[in-house]
Amino acid sequence: MARLVMKFGGTSVANVERIRNVARHVKREIEAGHQVAVVVSAMSGKTNELVAWCRETAVLHDAREYDAIVASGEQVTSGLLAIALQEMGIPARSWQGWQLPISTDDAHGSARILDVNGEEIVRRFENGNEVAVIAGFQGINLPSGRITTLGRGGSDTSAVAVAAGIKADRCDIYTDVDGVYTTDPRIVPKARRLDKVAFEEMLEMASLGAKVLQVRSVELAMVHKVRTFVRSSFTDPDAPELRVNGDPPGTLICDEEEIVESEVVTGIAFARDEAQVSIRHVPDKPGIAAGVFVPLAEANINVDMIVQNISAEGFTDITFTVPTADFERAKAALADAQDSIGFKTIEGATDVVKISIIGIGMRSHAGVAAKAFKALSERGINIRAISTSEIKISVLIDAAYTELAVRTLHSVYGLDA
């Protein structure tokens, strides 16, 4: 007997028929003798609809009411799945975040989980093996008593936190792809499924645009040592031939040490939600970087890639990226500081994409970046900015070249299936 958390994303619970299919996946595990807590997302498209309703009612709205509204999508699917399981003769009940509770801080819209109280669901596992169907994405801030949500894609984080909270043997994240691939399989049909990905690599992939797992879920899995798999809910739950050692195929997110043979590059990710800002003709003197970036920090704007040109005649240009959602605010904050910084013009572009090459093997291999730059230049793709860390290289290019660049890099690093 094992204790499992099974998480099902929006497309997996998109309608009643798919919810029944999810119930069959849960039934398989119950029949194998396991204890199961399920975490569900809202039906696909539902959260977007709820967010749009908030914005339509008031562009600037109370973040606590936003959470009360957008948390409702998961309330519906958790109840529906409990009913579908009961219909199959499996004892089940739904749990909202506030009922367990899953307690969070008060950062409405992107709250962090502080604690998951799993005592009651564990008691019910031991008393009749009742399945706990938990609404993902939501929690409660106990001091204020208000419902909170965890940020888009947050049900992954709910699942890993519940797994840590009930000391589950593993957390299976079921989605519409059967694992983590070398890049988004919707963009590159030759993408390959990875058997295992190291936590550090998955963290980079998720934060650099691979939305298959929310970044915080990977952080939590790493800290609490939760064995987390990504699997597909679209396989036939009752087909034994579709299983590997009794389980559906998938990708394990694990410690680096568990990976025997690793390639230099593990994957390619891309993110379209960054914008480029360039300020031209800035006097090149000590304190100039602070002059530019302090006003942005004060406006709570995250700066990512930064390039400063070599100065000519005492002046330089500085280019950096900010989240597209903060683009206008960033330009406004800089315009306010124009006299004190002393630059001439601000330019910007939102039709850009950040492409990243990720792999822990880069720590010990030279020439990885050069290979990317050469391949992109051979396709006539201009690089606007570059940033690197120990295990990743990111380049900013025109969005029109996204697919070409991702496919090119995918084959250059030998990742094609």
Give residues in contact with ligand ADP (CB under 6 A).
9-12, 41, 153, 175-177, 180-181, 183-186, 210-212, 267
Question: Per CB under 5 A, does 154 bind Mg ion?
Answer: no
Q: Least CB distance from residue 272 to ligand ADP, whole Å? A: 12
The residue among 160, 164, 181, 182 whose CA lies nearest residue 172 is: 160
As a whole number of angstroms, the distance between CA 62 and CA 67 comes to 9
In the list ligand ASP, Mg ion, ligand ADP, none, the entry touching 408 (Cβ below 5 to 8 angstroms by class) is: none
Query: Is residue 47 a contact point for ligand ASP (CB under 6 A)?
Result: yes
Stretch touching ligand ASP by CB under 6 A, among 147-155, 198-206, 253-261, 400-408? 147-155
Min CB(10)–ligand ADP separation in Å? 4
Q: What is the closest distance, in whole angstroms, from the C-beta atom of residue 48 to Mg ion in the complex?
A: 13
Q: Is 41 in the site for ligand ASP (CB under 6 A)?
A: yes
The CB-of-49 to ligand ASP minimum distance in angstroms stands at 10
SS (H, E, C) the chain: CCEEEEEECHHHHCCHHHHHHHHHHHHHHHHCCCEEEEEECCCCCHHHHHHHHHHHHCCCCCHHHHHHHHCHHHHHHHHHHHHHHHHCCCCEEEECCCCCCEEECCCCCCCCEEEECCHHHHHHHHCCCCEEEEECCEEEECCCCEEEECCCCCHHHHHHHHHHHCCCCEEEEEECCCCCECCCCCCCCCCCECCEEEHHHHHHHHHCCCCCCCHHHHHHHHHHCCCEEEEECCCCCCCHHHCECCECCEEEEECHHHCCCCCCCCEEEEECCEEEEEEEEEECCCCHHHHHHHHHHHCCCCCCCEEECCCECCEEEEEEEEEHHHHHHHHHHHHHCHHHHCCCEEEEECCEEEEEEECHHHHHCCCHHHHHHHHHHHCCCCCCEEEEECCEEEEEEEHHHHHHHHHHHHHHCCCCC
Which residue has the CB atom at the shortest distance from Mg ion? 153
Between 9 and 348, CB nearer to ligand ASP: 9
Does residue 153 interact with ligand ASP by CB under 6 A?
yes
Q: By CB under 6 A, which span of 84-92, 149-157, 260-268, 306-314 interacts with ligand ASP? A: 149-157
Judged by beta carbon distances under 5 to 8 A according to partner kind, the member of ligand ASP, ligand ADP, Mg ion, none in contact with residue 154 is: ligand ASP
Q: Count of residues binding ligand ASP (CB under 6 A)?
A: 13
| 137 contributes a contact to ligand ASP by CB under 6 A | yes
Pick 205 or 376: Cβ nearer ligand ASP: 205
Query: CB-wise, 182 or 217, nearer to ligand ASP?
Result: 217
Q: Is 9 in the site for ligand ASP (CB under 6 A)?
A: yes
Q: Which of 104-112, 150-158, 244-252, 398-406 is the region at the interface with ligand ASP (rule: CB under 6 A)?
A: 150-158
Using CB under 6 A as the binding rule, whether residue 359 contacts ligand ASP is answered as no
Write down the least CB distance from residue 234 to Mg ion, Å. Answer: 15
153 in contact with Mg ion (CB under 5 A): yes
Q: Which stretch in 55-63, 154-162, 164-172, 239-247 sits in contact with ligand ASP by CB under 6 A?
A: 154-162
